[in-house]
Structure 1
Amino acid sequence: MIKVGDKLPGGTLYEYLDVEGEGCSIGPNPVDIATAVAGKTVAIFGLPGAFTPTCSAQHAPGFIDAYEQFKAAGVDEIWCVSVNDAFVMGAWGRELKAAGKVRMMADGSADFAKATGLTLDLSAKGLGLRSGRYAMLVKDGVVTQLNDEQGGGYAVSDAQTLLKQIQG
């Protein structure tokens, strides 16, 4: 499992954009992870699924609502990563009004989740292998903070906990 001090694994996530811009079509657009985090401070939170109760009511909205606080603390971008396709993540982002605040990143085949070791097996509930619930801070590709729920609870991966850690 990835830990503080490790380099974020390379790979590709996908993002659906509602508006074309900067040479990007509306989607799904590949996002090379290493390129996207290079030289930036990125808050990344992972969750088991779009449109699921805790993810929709608390986890994602917490980061969306705290966007200005994260920016003030020196965070360049906030990413939400889930094992869903880019179309689902785009629709969920529209519903949550995440545009311009949180990038809704699709990890449709769970490649990123598996590469980080931050997985949650929900096969018994018919959901298959998902992303675990976590929040991390990545500076220039290196993990500097990691709050892993290790089992899918919701106690340490919330926006305010990560924000307090960033602010010191």
Structure 2
Amino acid sequence: MIDEVYEELVEKTKTTPGAKVENNKFCLSVHYRCVDEKKWSGLAQVVKSVLKEYPKLRLTQGRKVLEIRPTIKWDKGKALEFLLESLGFANCTDVFPVYIGDDRTDEDAFKVLRERGQGFGILVSKIPKDTSASYSLQEPTQVMDFLRRLVEWKRLAFQGRSRVV
């Protein structure tokens, strides 16, 4: 069903310059970040008209993205829990999940990490807002800097261990 809707949306959004339909396997995203603002509502109407034929799918809105997902109770928090459990990391004390997101749809994952007391969430936003994330960064370049420092810290920690032996 997701693939079928994907094909239909790709076809029906071709006339909207800048629109991008992404198949995320279990859900679809219709990005309109590069679409002329005057065409946003028309694009949303196209998406809604396609979804009328698929009652088992629902539409949610993120930051300049329309997300189409099954009506089952599933969100990024549930996906994170599923991954941790499937990989055997749900109760590991030596695994520290870090979830970085910039959208309100990421709040479910931030909440899961906070409630579990395992890892932390980082909200990326130039505008201060209420969040379940433990930390925030203002822009993607800061995310890259954070990740580089994290990798360097881990590399130095491993070097220190090998010298002790």
> Could you tell me the TM-score, scaled by structure 1's length?
0.26
| Structure number having the greater strand percentage | 1
Q: Which has the higher contact order (CA 8 A, sep 6+)?
A: 1
